[in-house]
Amino acid sequence: MASRFFLTLSFMLYLSPFVLGYSVNDLKTWCSQTPNPQPCEDLLSHNKNQIPIKQKSQFFQISTQLALDRAMHAQTNFLLLGSKFENPRAKAAWDDCLELYDHTIHKLNTTINPSTKCTQEDAQTWLSTALTNLQTCREGFSELGVSDFFLPAMSNNVSNLISNTLSINYVPYNPQPAYKDGFPTWVNPGNRKLLQSTSPKANLVVAKDGSGNYKTVAEAITAASKRSGTARYVIYVKAGTYKENVVIKSENIMLMGDGIGKTIITGSKSVGGGSTTFNSATVAVTGDGFIARDITFQNTAGVSNNQAVALRSGSDLSVFYKCSFEGYQDTLYVYSDRQFYKECNIYGTVDFIFGNAAVVLQNCNIYVRNHKTNTITAQGRSDPNQNTGISIHNCKVMAASDLVLSSTKTYLGRPWREYSRTVFMKTYLDSLINSAGWLEWSGTFALKTLYYGEYMNTGPGSSTSGRVKWAGYHVITSSSEASKFTVNNFIAGSSWLPATNVPFTAGL
């Protein structure tokens, strides 16, 4: 906390004289261009000096700094509330919020740090994550049935300010970020060489039988967090079933197993069992640049315990290759930032691929388990300027072995948030898909503002003749429109995936 506070003060000095004050006319002109002009005017007008804002870049820096300051203020107030939570469920939601506010402050700090040299697309990604974090904080209380009466005053203003920064920094579709030598500008040269290793050797070995450095994955992650530097660190997890919950906060960690069904990390935390969705994950990753391959991630809580996450990724530029994600409701939480999944298996029932990342799933097998009503996706984009969405490309959607077609209905997705965005492209849809294709969340909520698309899908469930007639639903016929959701354009994958040695298709 102290180090981040010091960093914020240094940014205040960096932004001078712009953060010192503005004329009333300038203030109204600039703030009127944002979706939430009132908090912009109210907070900026407290400054006394009259210095004009001449460039949009200045206004973006000022607005992001303002959001950062208010986030830090809200976090301080939130910390003081800790003693008020005697209910264990309320305490669970509060703990999540502390982590989420800390992560939000980190993302905002990184965005305006002059040494980061991030692109517009990087900034839009991290601001999207910051806004998602605050939404998740509020949701934790509601899903556990705990009053969140104190949250609006502290978090709504911060959310509005972050929404303003997203609007100011908005990047149109098909962004082409500035990368140097195939890497983001903020990845240092030392890491570039290490990331390009064609045969990564394990720094640590995990083995249940004691033949490795550690017997649990969590112990190995703790050891990795103490290493010097942030170079790629490979942890080989030998075949076996590891019953544990793992949190990975360090950057550039790689978990390498012995294959799907051989190396298994399993847990059973759930909302029904008293956890928040966010904290129910068997494995949760927040450190950027994470890679996993040849591993099964499980949550065995079952249908009756509601939300129960097998894996949650909030790791920017993360990759999952030849992995399996097994659960029921909310199996794979593609939480935030930019992610890529290749040749993976995903099993579930309700909303089992969900979250607010910018993510592409390619050549994956999606297996629907038995449940009365199934929804494959629930994408959580809450702001029209977030660069997020779920793109399912060249995959297969099929029934799991337990699914009974005659007593179930399965849909491609439903809108968790107002600007929910999901596309299925060149994907095989088996006969389990309901002819309507998509399901409402609640009445007419989001049906005009969402973006759902289907492009050149195949299989008995791919016919669009009986699909929903929502304003936000699209049968995509243009390759240029579909190309917006490819690896190259949606997550700029051609610029960073080659370094991971994971195969991918850049275009359609």
- Cβ atoms within 10 Å, residue 445: 16
Catalytic: 351? yes
Whole-angstrom Cα distance, residue 223 to residue 204?
9
**Per-residue tokens: 197:** 């290793």
For the CA atoms of 422, 427, 431, 432, the dihedral, rounded to the nearest 10 degrees, stands at -40
Dihedral sign of CA atoms 323, 395, 501, 490 in order:
negative
Give me the DSSP letters along 55-115.
Answer: -HHHHHHHHHHHHHHHHHHHHHHHHHTGGG--SHHHHHHHHHHHHHHHHHHHHHHHHH-TT
Residue appearing with tokens 């009259």: 50
Q: Which residues contact 471 (CB under 8 A, 6 or more apart)?
A: 447, 448
Whole-angstrom Cα distance, residue 129 to residue 127?
5
Exposed/middle/buried for residue 328 (C-beta within 10 Å: 0-12, 13-18, 19+) = buried
Residue 18 gets which letter from DSSP? G
Residue appearing with tokens 């003749």: 465
Exposed/middle/buried for residue 45 (C-beta within 10 Å: 0-12, 13-18, 19+) = middle
Q: Which of 258, 351, 383, 402 is catalytic?
A: 351
For residue 398, which of 438, 362, 363, 367 has the smallest C-alpha distance? 367
**Between 120-143 and 88-112, two packed helices, what is the crossing angle to 10 degrees?**
170
Dihedral sign of CA atoms 359, 360, 365, 366 in order:
positive
Contact 416, 379 (CB under 8 A): yes
Residue appearing with tokens 């929903």: 468
For the CA atoms of 456, 461, 464, 470, the dihedral, rounded to the nearest 10 degrees, stands at -110
Catalytic residues, by residue number, are 351
